[in-house]
Amino acid sequence: LQKLIHLLQATDDPLIQEQALITLSNSAAFSVNQDVIRNLDGLSVIGGMLSNCVPKVKEKALNALNNLSMNIKNQEEIQVFITQVCRTVESAPLNSDVQLAGLRLLTNMSVTSDYHQKMINSIPCFLHLLSEGTERTQIQVLKVLVNLSANPAMTRHLLRAQV
């Protein structure tokens, strides 16, 4: 895992980045690896890939963070990327793999109310995706909205959102 994280930092080759992110994502299926990746500063390295202009690399980074977000300590570090993930969801092509990967990560990050405030500005986007997206996109957006609606502090924001 340490070598994969180092490789991710050391290369500009999108194909290598994509493969390293896939491997890290698969490794994150095991809880012990989630801790190891966090302790090796892997979350910030993977999060840095969200700025990559290659859609496949960005998608794989979102998938890896999604798998890593199943751990509360990892969520504490991943939460710094929520605003960037929301912007990615908003700017990605409608129904794209990048958009869906971002929505899946936001679903996991919104299971508890700890980070809902960071998603408020994206509520209009979520509602737009609900009306314009394909069924896959709609289902993923609904998961985020259901999580947000479980928090009474979000009611006003959800009802006042301009669509």
Over the stretch 59-87, which tens digit does the pLDDT of each residue have?
Answer: 999 999 999 999 999 999 999 999 999 99
Average pLDDT of the chain is 97
Q: Which of 70, 65, 52, 39 is nearest to 9 (CA)?
A: 52
In whole angstroms, give the CA distance from residue 153 to residue 13: 44
**Which residues in 107-130 are b (16+ Cβ under 10 Å) and which e?**
bbbbeeeebbebbbebbebbbbbb
- For residue 163, the model assigns a pLDDT of 74
Q: What residues have CB less than 8 Å from 33, skipping those under 6 apart? A: 1, 27
Average pLDDT over residues 24-53: 96
Tokens standing for residue 141: 């957006």
In whole angstroms, give the CA distance from residue 141 to residue 133: 9
Phi-psi category of residue 156: left, alpha or beta, with phi > 0 → left and psi -120 to 50 → alpha: alpha
In whole angstroms, give the CA distance from residue 158 to residue 127: 9
In whole angstroms, give the CA distance from residue 83 to residue 95: 19
- Is residue 129 scored above 80 in pLDDT? yes
Domains of the chain, earliest start first: 1-78 (1.25.10.10), 80-162 (no CATH)
DSSP state letters, 56-114: HHHHHHHHHHHHHTTSHHHHHHHGGGHHHHHHHHHHSPTT-HHHHHHHHHHHHHTSSGG
Over the stretch 1-16, which tens digit does the pLDDT of each residue have?
Answer: 999 999 999 999 999 9
- For residue 162, the model assigns a pLDDT of 82
